[in-house]
Structure 1
Amino acid sequence: MTAVPDQPIRVLVVDDHEVLAGALAQVLATEPDLVIAGVAGDLGRARSLLATSTPDVVLLDHRLPDGDGVAALPELQALRPSARFVVLTASTADSVLVAAIEGGAAGFVSKTRGLGEVTAAVRSAASGEAVISPELLARLLPRLHRGGQSRPTDLTEREREVLALLAEGLSNAAIAERMTVSVHTVRNHLANLSAKLGAHSKLEALSIAIREGLLPDR
């Protein structure tokens, strides 16, 4: 049984397929630790709900009637910086997945997956985890862009160690075990990394680090 947190996870569903969006919202609402912050069928409605509600996690469709959800990630995150965005996509193209990572998504979940996996993805994103398998991350890492805008490079040795372990696709708990520290300490390192790199998620922090040469080529 899922333990109910003091504050439930608020979820915003953004998908233009009315049946799918309704089914997602209905299933998520039955979970004791989740509540629905709203349902939007396009980017315009999503912007309004992000400005007026306080979602913790946003399930964001890739293709929407008024634009590309992945391309809109930076704008949407600016409206609600504290929210974690998980991209819903029917596409398995590496270019789409790379764009989601570099856009700041906490991860992505395929529309072909069961509703249970979507629920698990929401909880993972809310807890600060990356919603991606180690195997898929390993496939995508070489595709992340290198070079570009200069970023601060004053990372500590421990922060660089965390980055290297992130690149292996490890969870916070697995990183903590590898480094023989607490999960709380790992989360502090991740928060510091995100602040220094201007990242909204673990995956975006990793992509920026690779782009700026803070990790060796893989």
Structure 2
Amino acid sequence: MTDGIRVLIVDDQHLIRLGFRLVLEAEPGIEVVGEASDGAEAVVLTAQLRPDVVLMDVRMPRLDGIAATERIVATQPDARILILTTFDLDDYAFAALRAGAGGFLLKDAQGAELISAVRAVHRGDAVLSPRVTRRMIELMGSPAEASAPPGYDELTAREREVFAAIAGGGTNAEIAGELFLSESTVKTHVSRVLAKIGARDRVHAVIIAHRHGLAGPAA
């Protein structure tokens, strides 16, 4: 399908790759285009296959998921990376988020959770719970004094509200409910916010908000 989601699975354990493949290939609109057993192979295959979403393990031989994520983000910015981890508060996973991943998923997630996460990352949502967002901010250290990031002055009042909601880890649906907007309208606002502040994705927007002291108590 030309409009399907193309997925690359990266994990050093064959059985885990097989399990994810079986779940994903049973879902209409999702195609597994390849598998990699380490980060180095993932970088090569991402360049060759141009997947929409990369399921990336963190702890692998040769090149780990953090370094692989950095290289892929630098060379294939359109690829969305979903980190796979054993623990939901794995510092390695947070490092990968800072490197440019769009979220992370526990390896023991149910099939429906895996499919939902792949679709969410593909459409630009961050796969992060509020608890994960708070922990990520903690690991980044103390924010700088409040200041406007580049492009912030160009945001409309509504876009600033959306930016604040993104900083709090809200999904499009949650933001729509909070601001009494349609999800399609929120999606448009999110795209404009990311473009104006120079954020590559929602996770990057959270980091920018924190660095400039704009992530308030809700975040």
* Length-normalised TM-score, structure 1: 0.85
Shift of 1:94: 5.0
**Letter of the structure 2 residue corresponding to residue 21 of structure 1:** R
Report the aligned-residue RMSD: 2.5
Shift of 1:155: 4.5
**Letter of the structure 2 residue corresponding to residue 83 of structure 1:** A
Cα separation, 1, equivalents of 2:210 and 2:101:
16
2:58 is matched with which residue?
62
* Secondary structure of 2:32 counterpart: strand
Matches within 5 A, 1:8-47: 8-47=4-43
List runs of 5+ in structure 2 lacking aligned partners: none
C-alpha contact 2:40 2:63 (8 A) present in aligned 1: no
Cα separation, 1, equivalents of 2:2 and 2:72:
27
Cα separation, 1, equivalents of 2:213 and 2:108:
35
Shift of 1:59: 0.3
**Is 61-70 or 172-181 further displaced after alignment?**
172-181
C-alpha contact 2:58 2:93 (8 A) present in aligned 1: no
Matches within 5 A, 1:1-218: 7-145=3-141, 146-147=143-144, 151-152=149-150, 153-156=152-155, 157-216=157-216
C-alpha contact 2:165 2:175 (8 A) present in aligned 1: yes
Percent sequence identity is: 38
C-alpha contact 2:46 2:72 (8 A) present in aligned 1: yes
**Letter of the structure 1 residue corresponding to residue 161 of structure 2:** E
* Length-normalised TM-score, structure 2: 0.85
Encode CA deviations 1:78-111: one digit per residue, 9 max, x unaligned: 2221121100012444533432332221110111
Cα separation, 1, equivalents of 2:178 and 2:89:
32
C-alpha contact 1:94 1:140 (8 A) present in aligned 2: no
Cα separation, 1, equivalents of 2:63 and 2:144:
28
* Secondary structure of 1:181 counterpart: coil
Cα separation, 1, equivalents of 2:94 and 2:193:
20
Encode CA deviations 1:171-201: one digit per residue, 9 max, x unaligned: 2022123223332232222222322343332
C-alpha contact 1:73 1:105 (8 A) present in aligned 2: yes
C-alpha contact 2:38 2:64 (8 A) present in aligned 1: no
Cα separation, 1, equivalents of 2:118 and 2:154:
30
Cα separation, 2, equivalents of 1:91 and 1:177:
30
C-alpha contact 1:15 1:40 (8 A) present in aligned 2: yes
* Secondary structure of 2:66 counterpart: coil
Shift of 1:71: 3.5
Cα separation, 2, equivalents of 1:111 and 1:91:
8
* Secondary structure of 2:196 counterpart: helix
Shift of 1:147: 4.2
Number of residue pairs matched?
213
* Secondary structure of 1:109 counterpart: strand
